[in-house]
């Protein structure tokens, strides 16, 4: 059966599964719409949360980032998984004990203020809208490659699928759909990795294969990769860092507390029956996430070696015109010159998978020296020896541009895996993007219908009316998400990291102080959220420049990239969080306000289990 037919069948079957689950699990009440009736089993919720969390960024982009960043990409693994530890220990059980529907509802009640609730809603909307741009873009890229439609058409299809199961099913429908999506995406991610690991190293376990020798040699895979990338002018894979030590620390912290502050993730812990279940649910989420996150570094490293070998025959891992992968132990051990004129492949001999990805525009070739061959190396390197070798071989600069996002999607094609595996990856990529998009859309819908319409503007709204408002809000959110996917802002490539920074600098400190401090006042919380959000947005957008209305020029507000102690915009969420905490404590101290007694009692009851202290006679 032809590849395209198999893809249509597998992706179509996954869509039918999602729609069938949505029809079976329609929400009939606001409780089912917002929190699935708080009756989801911890294991089920852990799997759904993992799918909600593992967005297009995790499935499509993370391995690509790891393949180019090497050791420096560990910030994503440490930050994202560490965030769940924070969530399990510091937030999930207490928020579940609070027993409400949304994050803004907790902030509004804890800080006894409709203004605080409204500011939290605004922060939530900004975070979710920024985050969802990346998901819709991922849907468009995946559909464009695998379904032979335009990226815009792919986004329209994605909108229709999410509409069908999110609007009618709410959290109940989304939860069970996400369980199915997790199963699809984890199978799609791990099976190609198993095949590729076995082909390269003879070890079917990717996380172990990464540390093994290449098949038929005594050369370690990572040692070969280090040798290849450094010889071609790239940084060493196993020692490369993500900027300065300070930047790595702040970036990791920003991802951690950003994870713990993401509203669409937090809301999932309101869906379990008991407080203890929230903690168990977070633990199961870590287990399900770990399956993908322990495989991702192997996928990134093996794909990088495969990719370079495809275009440089002297790597010893080559493909013929049919894409057949061949390992030559003699070449691997001999360590031949990667810049020999015959090392690069003829453009006309490129494998079929290269031709297919060229059509998407995510892989491009430019013949700079007119020899009809594909030269792939780092022509921007400062290594004079590498540049001298390239010049001696007649190379006039790097000729191949590869988008990081194709690493996972093209991996099974690069390794010539069966068509059904390629189709699975297509279904998994779509599942990853749709599952997170649905969670974000529900968070937006809940904030608007429950926290603004019901709690602020129309307190006497009936349950039926609130359910209608929730579904209308969901429809509006889907339309907005589709528009942003079709017309992404100029900073779309950094949207996911920006969303984490915004969550870290605005909602996370407010939630933490709300749980663990009985003295922070309403004015302090409001000032902290606004200050944290403002400084983070300012730093990010000041790097991109503030454009004039005509869009022809811009004002650079701060001096050059990473001008604040070498911090990248993605790492600045940590600074925003510090600003939030400091402003909140200063405002509390300066204004001398006092938290009402009933609110202090509520904090005490949320933080301390019922019956605590009985054993010591309290």
The whole-number pLDDT of residue 493 equals: 45
The whole-number pLDDT of residue 612 equals: 39
Q: pLDDT tens digits, residue range 494-506? A: 566 778 888 999 9
Q: pLDDT tens digits, residue range 342-381? A: 888 889 888 888 888 887 777 889 999 999 999 999 998 8
Three-state SS at 28: coil
- Sketch out the chain's domains with CATH numbers: 3-300+416-490 (1.10.4160.10), 312-402 (no CATH)
Q: Tell me the backbone φ, ψ of residue 345, rounded to 5 degrees.
A: -95, 155
Mean pLDDT over 467-489 rounds to 80
The whole-number pLDDT of residue 36 equals: 65
Tell me the helix, strand and coil percentages in the chain, rounded to 5.
70, 5, 25
| Greater pLDDT, 533 or 493 | 533
pLDDT at 576 over 90: yes
Using 50, 70 and 90 to split pLDDT, how confident is the model at 319? low
Mean pLDDT over 271-297 rounds to 86
Most confident of 56-70, 120-134, 545-559, 597-611: 120-134
Given a contact cutoff of 8 angstroms between Cβ atoms, the answer to whether 338 and 304 are in contact is no
The whole-number pLDDT of residue 546 equals: 42
Mean pLDDT over 558-563 rounds to 52
The whole-number pLDDT of residue 611 equals: 41
CA angle 335–341–347, rounded 5-degree value: 110
Q: How far apart are CA 591 and CA 589, in angstroms?
A: 6
Using 50, 70 and 90 to split pLDDT, how confident is the model at 574? very high
Q: How far apart are CA 611 and CA 362, in angstroms?
A: 60
Given a contact cutoff of 8 angstroms between Cβ atoms, the answer to whether 48 and 464 are in contact is no
List the structure tokens of 199.
């082909």
| Greater pLDDT, 290 or 489 | 290
pLDDT at 310 over 90: no
Q: How far apart are CA 502 and CA 131, in angstroms?
A: 10
Q: Which of 80, 87, 128 is nearest to 256 (CA)?
A: 80
pLDDT at 559 over 60: no
**Secondary structure letter of residue 212 according to DSSP:** S
Q: How far apart are CA 76 and CA 62, in angstroms?
A: 8
Q: How far apart are CA 447 and CA 425, in angstroms?
A: 33
Q: How far apart are CA 529 and CA 531, in angstroms?
A: 6
pLDDT at 198 over 50: yes
pLDDT at 51 over 60: yes
The whole-number pLDDT of residue 581 equals: 96
The whole-number pLDDT of residue 610 equals: 52
Q: pLDDT tens digits, residue range 113-124? A: 889 999 998 998
Mean pLDDT over 80-85 rounds to 83
Burial 135-160 (b: 16+ CB within 10 A, else e): bbbbbbbbbbbbbeeebeebbbbbbe
| Helix or strand (DSSP H, E) at 527 | helix 522-544
Burial class (CB in 10 A: 0-12, 13-18, 19+), 267: buried
pLDDT at 552 over 60: no
**Secondary structure letter of residue 73 according to DSSP:** G
User: Residue 194's CB: how many other CB atoms inside 10 A?
Assistant: 18
Q: How far apart are CA 212 and CA 328, in angstroms?
A: 17
Please tell me the least confidently modeled range out of 146-160, 227-241, 256-270, 536-550. Answer: 536-550
Distances (CA, A) of 345 to 41, 400, 406: 54, 12, 20
Q: pLDDT tens digits, residue range 386-415? A: 999 999 999 999 999 888 777 777 878 777
Mean pLDDT over 101-118 rounds to 87
Three-state SS at 555: strand
Mean pLDDT over 263-276 rounds to 81
Q: Which of 388, 401, 383, 247 is nearest to 311 (CA)?
A: 401
Using 50, 70 and 90 to split pLDDT, how confident is the model at 553? very low
The whole-number pLDDT of residue 579 equals: 96
How many helices and strands, by DSSP H and E, does the chain display?
Answer: 28, 8
List the structure tokens of 441.
């859309």
The whole-number pLDDT of residue 95 equals: 82
| Greater pLDDT, 485 or 544 | 485
The whole-number pLDDT of residue 550 equals: 37
Given a contact cutoff of 8 angstroms between Cβ atoms, the answer to whether 266 and 508 are in contact is no
Q: How far apart are CA 120 and CA 101, in angstroms?
A: 14
The whole-number pLDDT of residue 563 equals: 62
Please tell me the least confidently modeled range out of 12-16, 114-118, 614-618. Answer: 614-618
The whole-number pLDDT of residue 120 equals: 92
What secondary structure does DSSP assign to 245-290, as a single string? HHHHHHHHHHHHHHHHT-HHHHGGGGSSSSHHHHHHHHHHHHHHHH
Q: Tell me the backbone φ, ψ of residue 457, rounded to 5 degrees.
A: -90, -35
Q: What residues pair up with 454 in beta bridges, in sequence order?
A: none
pLDDT at 167 over 80: no
Given a contact cutoff of 8 angstroms between Cβ atoms, the answer to whether 485 and 153 are in contact is no
Instruction: Give pTM, 2 decimals.
Output: 0.81
| Helix or strand (DSSP H, E) at 45 | helix 42-53
List the structure tokens of 550.
């005509």
Burial class (CB in 10 A: 0-12, 13-18, 19+), 167: buried
Burial 421-440 (b: 16+ CB within 10 A, else e): bbbbbbbbbbbbbbbbbbbb
Given a contact cutoff of 8 angstroms between Cβ atoms, the answer to whether 190 and 295 are in contact is yes
Mean pLDDT over 274-295 rounds to 86
Percentage of the chain modeled with pLDDT above 70: 88
The whole-number pLDDT of residue 457 equals: 80
The whole-number pLDDT of residue 512 equals: 92
Mean pLDDT rounded to a whole number for the chain: 81
Q: How far apart are CA 25 and CA 48, in angstroms?
A: 14
Given a contact cutoff of 8 angstroms between Cβ atoms, the answer to whether 299 and 408 are in contact is yes
């Amino acid at each position: 059966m032809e590849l395209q037919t198999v893809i249509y069948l597998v992706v179509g079957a996954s869509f039918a599964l999602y729609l069938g689950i949505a029809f079976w699990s329609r929400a009939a009440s606001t409780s089912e719409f917002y929190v699935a009736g708080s009756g989801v089993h911890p294991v089920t919720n852990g799997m759904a949360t993992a799918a909600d969390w593992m967005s297009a960024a995790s499935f499509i982009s993370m391995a690509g980032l790891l393949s180019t960043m090497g050791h420096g990409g560990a910030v994503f693994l440490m930050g994202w998984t560490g965030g769940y530890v924070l969530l399990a220990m510091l937030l999930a059980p207490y928020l579940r004990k609070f027993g409400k529907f949304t994050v803004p509802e907790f902030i509004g009640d804890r800080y006894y203020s409709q203004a605080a609730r409204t500011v939290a809603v605004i922060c939530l909307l900004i975070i979710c809208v920024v985050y969802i741009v990346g998901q819709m873009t991922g849907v468009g890229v995946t559909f464009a490659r695998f379904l032979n439609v335009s990226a815009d058409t792919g986004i329209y299809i994605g909108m229709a699928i999410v509409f069908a199961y999110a609007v009618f099913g709410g959290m109940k429908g989304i939860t069970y759909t996400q369980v199915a999506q997790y199963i699809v995406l984890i199978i799609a991610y791990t099976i190609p990795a198993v095949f590729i690991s076995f082909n390269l190293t003879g070890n079917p376990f990717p996380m172990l294969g990464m540390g093994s020798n290449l098949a038929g040699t005594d050369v370690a895979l990572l040692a070969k990769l280090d040798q290849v990338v450094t010889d071609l002018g790239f940084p060493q894979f196993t020692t490369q860092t993500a900027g300065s030590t300070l930047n790595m620390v702040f970036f990791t912290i920003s991802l951690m507390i950003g994870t713990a502050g993401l509203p669409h993730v937090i809301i999932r812990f309101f869906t379990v029956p008991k407080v203890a279940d929230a903690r168990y649910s977070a633990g199961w989420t870590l287990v399900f996430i770990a399956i993908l996150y322990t495989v991702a570094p192997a996928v990134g490293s093996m794909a990088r070696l495969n990719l370079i070998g495809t275009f440089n025959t002297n790597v010893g891992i080559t493909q013929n015109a049919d894409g057949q992968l061949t390992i030559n132990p003699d070449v691997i051990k001999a360590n031949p010159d990667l810049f020999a004129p015959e090392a690069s492949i003829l453009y006309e001999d490129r494998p079929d998978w290269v031709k297919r990805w060229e059509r998407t525009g995510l892989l491009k070739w430019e013949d700079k020296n007119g020899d009809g061959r594909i030269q792939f190396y780092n022509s921007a390197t400062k290594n004079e020896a590498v540049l001298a070798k390239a010049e001696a071989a007649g190379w006039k600069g790097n000729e191949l541009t590869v988008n990081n996002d194709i690493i996972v999607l093209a991996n099974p094609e690069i390794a010539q895996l069966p068509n059904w595996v390629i189709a699975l990856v297509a279904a998994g990529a779509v599942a990853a993007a749709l599952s997170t998009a649905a969670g974000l859309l529900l968070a937006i819908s809940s904030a608007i219908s429950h926290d603004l319409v019901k709690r602020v503007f129309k307190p006497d709204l009936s349950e039926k009316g609130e359910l209608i408002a929730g579904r209308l809000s969901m429809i509006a959110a889907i339309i907005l998400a589709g528009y942003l996917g079709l017309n992404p802002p100029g900073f779309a490539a950094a949207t996911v990291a920006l969303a984490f920074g915004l969550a870290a600098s605005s909602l996370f400190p407010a939630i933490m102080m709300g749980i663990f401090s009985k003295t922070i006042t309403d004015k302090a919380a409001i000032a902290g959220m606004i200050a944290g959000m403002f400084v983070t947005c300012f730093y990010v957008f000041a790097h991109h420049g503030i454009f004039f209305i005509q869009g022809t020029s811009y004002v650079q507000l701060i001096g050059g990239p990473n001008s604040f102690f070498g911090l990248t915009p993605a790492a600045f969420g940590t600074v925003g969080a510090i600003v939030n905490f400091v402003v909140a404590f200063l405002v509390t101290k300066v204004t001398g306000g006092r938290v009402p007694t009933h609110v202090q009692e509520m904090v005490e009851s949320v933080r301390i289990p019922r019956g605590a202290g009985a054993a010591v006679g309290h």
